Amino acid sequence: MLGALIRKNAYYDSVTLMLISQDLKEQAGVQEVLVGMGTELNLDLVRNLEMFSPELEPVGPNDMFIAAKFDEQQTSFQAIETAFDELISKKSADSNGNYQPPTLKSALRQLPDANLVQISIPGQYASAEVEEALNAGLHVMLFSDNVPIEDELRLKKKAVEKGLLLMGPDCGTAIINGVPLCFANAVKRGKIGVVGASGTGTQEVTTLIDKLGEGLSQVIGTGGRDLSEAVGGLMMLQGFDALITDPETEVIVLISKPPAAAVAKKIYDRAKTSPKPVVIDFIGGDAQAIREAGAYPCLSFEDAAAKAVALLRGEPVQDQDSLRMADSALEELLTAELGRLQPEQTKLLGLYTGGTLADEAMKFLGQKTAIYSNIPLSPELALENMPAAGGHLILDLGEDQFTRGRAHPMIDPLTRSEFFSSRVDGQTAIVLLDLVLGYGSHADPAKAVVQSVLEARARLAREGKDLVVVASVTGTDQDPQDLGSSTRTLKQAGIIVMPSNAQAVRLVSRMMEKMHSGAENGA
């Protein structure tokens, strides 16, 4: 049986029409429904489906029509029309085409099944929003920083009581059920779960896991202060528990700068009872304590990724503690690169956008030589203590002191460009840097770096000097900026690109050793 109706000069947005069309098709006895504007071609389709009825004769292109084919034993066109009218009044009231709700409450009315909210507002207002979200039973990703630590503790306790995650404050990276939040990379889904208190460290580990051919189940951020004595690692533990119970997760990786001793103990105690293998990278944490907890300590983010993958595949777990380059190739590279430097060029300059990557570099290089920094390993190595004659320097350009009034250097490459201009001088031998790709990062950071390197080299060339630049790229081929394309751009400019920050640092370490021994021999 056929039926049709026309609504003269009636206009509904396409979201409404699609939802109604779908709902009508689900009504008992309805075999096919076409809803649309009464254009000639739409009527052609109606005819083609043998659904044209005389009621449609007067329809015009500015009229909306409904044509239905139905089983009259089960329904009537009158019932379809009534259903349409009911649906249209309902949908018009709560249409969610691309609605941007002004409050959390109105957002929840639009998406009643949502279970996570991302909050990114000035820190002084964030606590109230987080509280409302937790009260509504929502997990929270809190990108905002400058949230008082008392609020963080109170809200995290509430989250724990309710069995929810409160990722943050100052949480920059998470991937929940395959959905990247804030700064995250396009990684494969898989069976390795990560809880991270450091954003770029987490990005480095997750992208390296992707490069090794495995994927991530969940990536849970905690915010940088979570493992402090004051907060007590509440979210690290909550995230750890979540991954233990997550059926998709088979191996767990925990990432943080070294926690407060009491917090570390809680985490080790939890690791002892974990039914799943646990890899812990506390960037210089107590390896023996980690081993005693039955977990796997790490030498670097690269090592953490490799160990997680080995555990997942049931392969032997080995330390990744060397530079992966054949001796002959390394010697050739060192000779060629360092041979272009002048004797007075002896200094290392690290220009990092990722704070944890800078930290990793300093932990390794700092074992052999003094590295000054704005995030020093010890107070005497603070930037302001660097001798006038210069020294090796690694900077975290994402620290507040460099980003006031401008975006983070992962978003705005200008900060690093300025440091290239001001810090690369006639003593600089090696520049070590990172490129962090992924959602939220700058569209083409490689291009900006190349520009800075070319300018610095041109400047040094006037003094008959050159520069060695070593980089690592944190990213994947699926990232919007494309790892392969970014790497090619850097290499074409004569920049040495290593497969991880750890490898880049190890190469620089060998370069510095060779420069040092060359200087001694020369002396």
Partner 1 sequence: MPPLSASRISGDLVEYLADSKPHPARVHSLFTRAFNLKVADGCLVSGTNSRGYIAPMGFSFQSLQTSGWPFSLDQELILHPGGVCSASGELLIDFSNAAIWNPSLATIYLPLEQQERCLHLLTRILAGSQNGIFTPLLPGIFGEELPSDLPLHAAFIAPRVFSFFGHLANSEWQAAALDSEGLIGFGSGLTPSADDFLAAILGLYTALPLDVKENKAGFSLVAERILELAPARTSLVSAEMLRHAANGRLPSPHQSLLAALDSGSVFEVEEAARAVLNVGVNSGGDFLFGLLAGLVLMAEAKMVLCDQIKEIDQC
Out of 28, 50, 89, 102, point to the residue binding partner 1 (CB under 8 A). Answer: 102
Please tell me the distance from the alpha carbon of residue 151 to that of residue 195, in angstroms, as a whole number: 21
Closest by Cα among 416, 470, 473, 408 to 441:
408
Nearest residue (CB) to partner 1, 466 versus 482: 482
DSSP 8-state code for residue 56: G
Subset of residues 74 to 93 that bind partner 1, contact rule: CB under 8 A? 92-93
Nearest residue (CB) to partner 1, 42 versus 342: 42
Q: Give yes or no for residue 451 binding partner 1 (CB under 8 A).
A: no
CB of 97 to partner 1, least distance (A): 7
Decide if 87 contacts 24 (C-beta within 8 A): yes
Nearest residue (CB) to partner 1, 436 versus 508: 436
Out of 2, 3, 24, 36, point to the residue binding partner 1 (CB under 8 A). Answer: 36
Q: Give yes or no for residue 17 binding partner 1 (CB under 8 A).
A: yes
Please tell me the distance from the alpha carbon of residue 236 to that of residue 171, in angstroms, as a whole number: 12
Q: Give yes or no for residue 318 binding partner 1 (CB under 8 A).
A: no
Reduced to 3 states, what is the DSSP secondary structure of residue 20?
Answer: helix
Q: Give yes or no for residue 97 binding partner 1 (CB under 8 A).
A: yes
Closest by Cα among 310, 279, 313, 312 to 297:
279
Q: Give yes or no for residue 26 binding partner 1 (CB under 8 A).
A: no
CB of 410 to partner 1, least distance (A): 13
CA dist list (Å): 478 to 103, 219, 475: 33, 17, 8
Nearest residue (CB) to partner 1, 43 versus 348: 43
**Long-range contacts (CB closer than 8 Å, 24 or more residues apart) made by 153-160:** 153/230, 153/231, 153/232, 153/234, 155/127, 155/130, 155/131, 156/226, 156/231, 156/234, 156/235, 156/238, 157/234, 158/131, 158/134, 159/134, 159/234, 159/235, 159/238, 160/234, 160/238
* Tokens linked to 150: 């008392």
Out of 55, 241, 425, 444, point to the residue binding partner 1 (CB under 8 A). Answer: 444
Q: Give yes or no for residue 14 binding partner 1 (CB under 8 A).
A: yes
Nearest residue (CB) to partner 1, 196 versus 445: 445
Q: Give yes or no for residue 41 binding partner 1 (CB under 8 A).
A: yes
CB of 46 to partner 1, least distance (A): 10
Give the interface with partner 1 as residue ranges (CB under 8 A).
Answer: 11-15, 17-18, 21, 34-37, 39-42, 44-45, 48-49, 61-62, 92-93, 95, 97-102, 442-444, 480-482, 485
